[in-house]
Every structure is written in structure tokens, then in C-alpha cells.
Amino acid sequence: MPSPAERLPLTGADAFLLAFDTLTRRENRASHLSQIVLRLGPGFDAEGFRRALDDVVRANLICAAPIRRRRLGMGLPEYRLDLARRADGPRFHEHTGGERPPRRWGEAAPLPAIFEERINTLQDASRGGLFDVDAVRYADGSTDLALTWQHMLLDGFGSERFVELLADVCAGKRAPDELPAGDRPGAPPPLELPQSQRERGNMAMSWQRWMSELGQKSVRSPAGPERGVRQQLAVDRVQFADEASAAIVARANERAGFLTPMIFYLAAAIRAHAAVLAQRGERPESFVVPLPVNLRPKGVEGAIFRTHVSLLWFQVDAELVDDFEALLAALKEQRRLAIRSGMIEAGVAAMEYARGAPSRLYGQMARRNLKGELCSFFFAYTGEFCPDRESFCGAPFEDGFGVPSVPASPGSALVLALRGGRLGYTHVRQRDAFRPGELELFQEKLHRDLSG
């Protein structure tokens, strides 16, 4: 019988992602993974990186711990650290990439095929070995590096801190087990819920009511309702040049606020998706999009491992989409009202309650509510990627970005971030979610709204 110290419970958000994993495994024959891609100049020290990775994984058993439920698979899900020693560690694969494709600012470029293959893999979280790392080495000495993991192990914030931990360990600047207080045993949760069961229950119910209300208007994603097809994600990466980035960022800051530009980017993302649906002759009554919110305490170094997020949901009527300013105002107001009415905290309470529920329940409830859809698309804005980090394991750190998995329905996820002040976005999509010509329309509309 493992001791409590050898078990690490999943957070509510982890369990939410585990539910996505269960859904994706059952219906799309893939796992709900996440990936970070680093584009590095010449000089990458592959052996140094391999040693750093091994050291970090050996020092932090969660990296290789299976996720199991107690009591014949019916209890709360938890990382079994005691079994990590016997599980597979991370797998580091090196590939030869030939000539590196030239970088074209503002134009979509695919990732190396092996990266896309990796994010479509079927991984079994209950067996441990949650990481794969792929390095594509090019003829000019540069490298593209992808870290792919079970999404619940690291969220957007945590994955960047994990990259920094690897870089520091590789450079001999940090011990592999030197983690922030939030990762240490017995660390309090990032957000303390009320002690009273009744109060927590009421919070969870208010979130559930909010979710139910989303179903009162029709929603349509690019891929349409769940079809039980095999997940085949493709990824487009776009990075804007310095001048274009500066103009877009200034416009976003001016319209939505210096610290809250994500609302501007979300408005542009909704309109780009709406343009695609409109071309098909589809006009859903509304667009529904979840926005992850980082819960880590502000002003202290946040936890690396496990996901510490809540979700804010936005729902805008279709007629608002034609007017950018009206859309922006509606999104701002919805965010303000949701924060004021405690929906971030309520989301945490709801996800905590649902940890014990069978994973498939989440997906079933969401799909029933939205008539087979989960939402219109996934969206995130993560700010500056690894700010102040100029090199990684001996190589100049040219670009870095997250590649989140998205279920075959809604089939589209858009993530924006900055790197070195340059704005970039990653569009992850189910291969058949966009018909011929629609991707071009999507990008054209998105770029036009971003640039003004």
C-alpha cells in the first residue's frame, strides 16, 4: 500500500483535462497532449540537454508517474510517484531535418512532420512516461525542439517554467530538484476555497448553471459536432515581423488594455472563425469560447507541475460579430461580470467536485448541453514566452510557442503569444475541419482584424 507521500492528487483542472483525454482516447483514438516547440539557432548541446532532461525527470518523479484512481478505478485520480521509478522516463529522439525552411514573416508554416505525428499519438497516462522530446537538426546547425506531454502534467505557465528549469540545469545554474514553493509537498492550493461544504457546493452549482445557460443558443464549431473520427491535428505557425508586431500589439493595448489585450485577440479570433462558417452558409446563434485563467498567486514564483487554471466562458450573439467594436465591448463586459460574480472561483469549486466523477461524464454533459459541440473553438493568449531567456542549452533561442491539443470537435484552437516582442500565433486544427480555401479566408480575416 503506497504511503500518502507517494500519491499526488490531480488538481480539479488536471481531472478536467483527464476527462478530455478519456474523451479523445475513446472517440478519436489519440490522447489529449500538449506540446512546446523551441526554435533554436546553431550550437544546441544535445548531450547536455539529454543529461539535464534525465536529471530533471529523476529528481521530479511526477514527470514519469502513472495516473491512477484508487479503489478499482473509482476513486480520485492521483499521480502514483511510487510507481514512477518503474515506468518509462522521457524519450529523447533526434532526427535529421535537411535544409531548414526559410522563415517568412506573417505567413503560415507547418511544423516538422514528426511534431504533428507526436501530438496525435495515443499515450496511456495510467502507465506513466508522460514525455516525448524530439529534436530536428538542420543542415545549418539550427534545431527545432518539441516537448510533448500529457496535458495535465504542465499548463501554459508551467510548461514555460519547465523549459527554464531545463535550461538552468543544462547550464549548471540550478539543481534539478530546485522547484518553486508551489511544487513542494504540502503546498497550499493556489486558490483557497471556503471551508464550508455548502458554500463550495453553491459555488459549483453556480458554475454548472452558467454552463447550462450556454446551451440556450446554438453553437457551431469548424469541425461540427463530435463524429468519432481519428484525431489528425495539423499545426500552422505564424510569426509577425517586428514592425507588424509592434503595430498589432499597440492596437490591442489601446483597444483592450495593456494587461488585458487577450480580449482584442479573442474578438479577432471569433470573427475569423465566423467568416469561415459564414462562407459555408452556417450562422449559429452564438459563439462560445473558454479562456483559461492562471490561478497561481501573483508576486511569487508559481508552481511548475500540474495545471492550476480555471476557465472563463464567453458567449456572444452572432449579430455582434459583424461589428468589431461592439464585439470587443461585449467580451470586456462579460469578462468583468464573470470575474465580479466569482466565476473563476466557482469554476475551481466545480472542477474540484467533479474530480471523483467518471471522466467521460464531463464530455457527455457538455455535448448534451451544446447538442454535440464542446464550444466554438479553443483560445488562449499567454503573453511573452520565456521572457529574458536568450539562449537554450548553448543555442540562441529564436522562437518558442505552445501547441495545445484540441479534440476532433471543435477541431480548431488558436493560441497567441509574444516572443522577443514579436507576436505569433499557433493554429491547431483537425485536418478536415477546414475545407479548401477556408484556411486562407481564416488567416486573411484574422490578419486584417489584428492589423486594423
Partner 1 sequence: MGSEGNGTWTQERLAELICRILRDDLLACGDDLGPTSKLLDSGLDSLTVTQLMLAVEEETGVWTDESLLTPENLETAETLARCIHEHAQSG
Provide the minimum distance between the beta carbon of 383 and partner 1 in the complex, in angstroms, as a whole number. Answer: 8
333 Cβ contact list (under 8 Å, min separation 6) = none
Pick 122 or 339: Cβ nearer partner 1 = 339
Q: Residue from 5, 339, 357, 361 that binds partner 1 (CB under 8 A)?
A: 339
Provide the minimum distance between the beta carbon of 312 and partner 1 in the complex, in angstroms, as a whole number. Answer: 9
Q: Is 417 in the site for partner 1 (CB under 8 A)?
A: no
Phi, psi torsion values for 14, nearest 5 degrees: -60, -45
Beta partners for 384? 418
Q: Is 298 in the site for partner 1 (CB under 8 A)?
A: yes
Grid coordinates in use for 131? Answer: 514525455
User: How far is residue 80's CA from residue 89's CA, in Å, rounded to a whole number?
Assistant: 14
Q: Is 136 in the site for partner 1 (CB under 8 A)?
A: no
Provide the minimum distance between the beta carbon of 294 and partner 1 in the complex, in angstroms, as a whole number. Answer: 7
Q: Is 299 in the site for partner 1 (CB under 8 A)?
A: yes
Interface pattern 265-294 for partner 1 (x via CB under 8 A) = ----------------------------xx
Q: Is 188 in the site for partner 1 (CB under 8 A)?
A: no
Q: Is 256 in the site for partner 1 (CB under 8 A)?
A: yes
CA distance from start to end of the chain? 61
Provide the minimum distance between the beta carbon of 72 and partner 1 in the complex, in angstroms, as a whole number. Answer: 39
Q: Residue from 297, 372, 394, 396 that binds partner 1 (CB under 8 A)?
A: 297
Pick 244 or 293: Cβ nearer partner 1 = 293
User: How far is residue 222's CA from residue 408's CA, in Å, rounded to a whole number?
Assistant: 10
Question: Could you tell me where the beta strands, DSSP code E, fall in 74-206?
Answer: 77-80, 91-98, 109-110, 131-138, 143-150
62 Cβ contact list (under 8 Å, min separation 6) = 8, 79, 81, 84, 153, 305, 306
Q: Is 260 in the site for partner 1 (CB under 8 A)?
A: yes
Provide the minimum distance between the beta carbon of 293 and partner 1 in the complex, in angstroms, as a whole number. Answer: 6
443 Cβ contact list (under 8 Å, min separation 6) = 108, 236, 238, 272, 427
Q: Is 86 in the site for partner 1 (CB under 8 A)?
A: no
DSSP per-residue codes, 242-266: HHHHHHHHHHHHHHH-SS-THHHHH
Provide the minimum distance between the beta carbon of 255 and partner 1 in the complex, in angstroms, as a whole number. Answer: 6
Q: Is 175 in the site for partner 1 (CB under 8 A)?
A: no
User: Omega before 284 cis (within 30°)?
Assistant: no
Provide the minimum distance between the beta carbon of 163 and partner 1 in the complex, in angstroms, as a whole number. Answer: 20
Binding site for partner 1 (CB under 8 A): 253-260, 262-263, 293-294, 297-300, 332, 335-336, 339-340, 344
